[in-house]
Amino acid sequence: MEALRSVPAYQCELLSSTPSPSFFRCPRCSTARRVDDDGGVLVRAFVLTGPGEGGVQDLPAPDAGPGEVVVDVERAGVCGTDAEFFTGAMTYLHSGHASYPVVLGHEWCGTVAAVGAGVDEAWVGRRVMGDTMLGCGTCRRCRRGHQHVCGQRQEVGIRGGRNGALAEQLAVPVTSLHALPDAVDPVLGALVEPGGNALRAAQAAGAGAGDRALVIGPGTIGCLVAMFLRAAGAEVHLLGLPGAALEFARSLGFEDAWTQDQLPPLPFDAVVDCSTGTTAPALALSLVEPGGRLVFIGIAHEPTPLDTRDLLLADLTAVGVLSASPGLGETIAAYASGAVDPRPLVAATVNLEDVLDVLAGRRPPGAGPGPKVHVRP
C-alpha cells in the first residue's frame, strides 16, 4: 500500500487512457477523479457563490506552483468565519480582501499528493496540516516573524483568492505546512488550526497552577481555550448564555460553567473573551483582578466600548489574538501527547454536499452536542 500511496491519483499514467469526459476510478491509486473534455483532471469543491448560495462544483485540480504542494484533503472543519461568508457579514468581503465565488476551509489536514518546483519530494505521502496565514515573506513584519499580520498576506480559504480545503485537494506553500505525527488522527488534525488560536489565547492569559481563569463564550474556541488553561493547571470557569453550550461545557468536565446571573463573585486572575458579544470586552474588564490579564479573541460585529482608564487604573495587561500561526507546533504536540483532547467538540462529520446546510446553521441529522462540524471531502 505504501508504494501505491506515493502515486498521486491525478498523475497516474492510467488516467490518460480514460475516454473523456468521465468519472474515473484509478485501479492503481483507487482514488476517484474526473476529467473534463480536454483531459484536464477535476476535483470536487464546495463553492460559495454569494450570500446564502453555493454548492459542489467540479474545479480544475490545483497545480503545485513553485514552492507549493498539492494536498489530498482528509478532513476540514467549518467555523464561524465560514458562516460569516455565508451571511455576507465577513469584513473582508467589504474591505476588498475577499470576494465571491470562494472555496472556504482553513481548518484542515490531509496527505501531500504532489510537490512543485523547489520542494523536497520527501513531502509526498506525508500527513500534514497548514497555517491559514500566508505572509509575503519579504516585508518588515514577515522578516520580524509576524507573517500572520503581513499586510499583503493571503489567508487560506478566506483572503486574497487563496482557495481553501472544502475540496478534494488544495495547493499551499510548503512553508505553511506542519507534519502530523500518527498520534494526531484526522479529527485532531483538522482541529489544530482552531487549537492554535486557543493555545495562544490561553498562553496570553498566563494562568497556571494556583490561578483562576474565566472564559467568556463557550463555543469551539472558548472550549479549546478552557482545555488549554486546564492543561496548564489553572482553575477554569466558563461564562455563557443559558442553554446547550454551557451544558456541553459541563460535559467536558467544566463544572464551573455559569450564566451571568449565576457567576460567583470570585477573583479572576485572567479573563479571556471568546464571544462575539458587543458588551463582553467591558464585562471582561469589570471581572478581572487588578494586576491580571485580559485576552480578546472573539470578534463582535460592531465596535466594542472599553474604558482604558479602568485598564490602567487596575494595572492590567490586555492582549489581542488574531491567528494560530505561532501556536501550531505546540498545539500538535499537546494533541499528540494527549495533554489536550478536543475530539468531543466535533458533533458530526458530513460530505461536501451538506456544507450549505451546515453554513446555514442547520445541524446534521444525528449530530452530537459539540459545536464543531467536520467535512470529509
* Interacting residue ranges for Zn ion, rule: CB under 5 A: 79, 81, 135-136, 139, 142, 150
Burial environment of residue 146 by CB neighbours within 10 A (0 to 12, 13 to 18, 19 or more) = middle
Q: Give the sign of the dihedral formed by CA 92, CA 107, CA 174, CA 297.
A: positive
Neighbours of 186 (CB within 10 A): 19
CB of 370 to Zn ion, least distance (A): 15
Residue (15 or 158) nearer to Zn ion, CB: 158
* Strand locations in 38-121 (E): 41-50, 53-60, 68-78, 107-115
CA distances, 220 to each of 215, 245, 282, 370 (Å): 12, 10, 22, 8
Instruction: Please state whether the peptide bond connecting residue 101 to the residue before it is cis, i.e. omega within 30 degrees of 0.
Output: yes
Short-list 7, 344, 355, 334, CA closest to 183? 334
- The secondary structure of residue 29, as a DSSP letter, is T
Short-list 106, 80, 85, 105, CA closest to 97? 85
Short-list 264, 211, 203, 204, CA closest to 236? 211
- Distance (Å, whole) CA 13 – CA 24: 12
Residue (169 or 197) nearer to Zn ion, CB: 197
CB of 76 to Zn ion, least distance (A): 10
Residue (132 or 169) nearer to Zn ion, CB: 132
Residue (287 or 352) nearer to Zn ion, CB: 352
Residue (142 or 224) nearer to Zn ion, CB: 142
The residues near 369 (Cβ < 8 Å, ≥ 6 apart) are 244, 247, 248, 251, 347
Residue (136 or 356) nearer to Zn ion, CB: 136
Q: Give the sign of the dihedral formed by CA 206, CA 207, CA 212, CA 218.
A: positive
CB of 163 to Zn ion, least distance (A): 16
CB of 6 to Zn ion, least distance (A): 31
3-state secondary structure of 162: coil
Residue (180 or 283) nearer to Zn ion, CB: 180
- Distance (Å, whole) CA 339 – CA 41: 42
Neighbours of 160 (CB within 10 A): 13
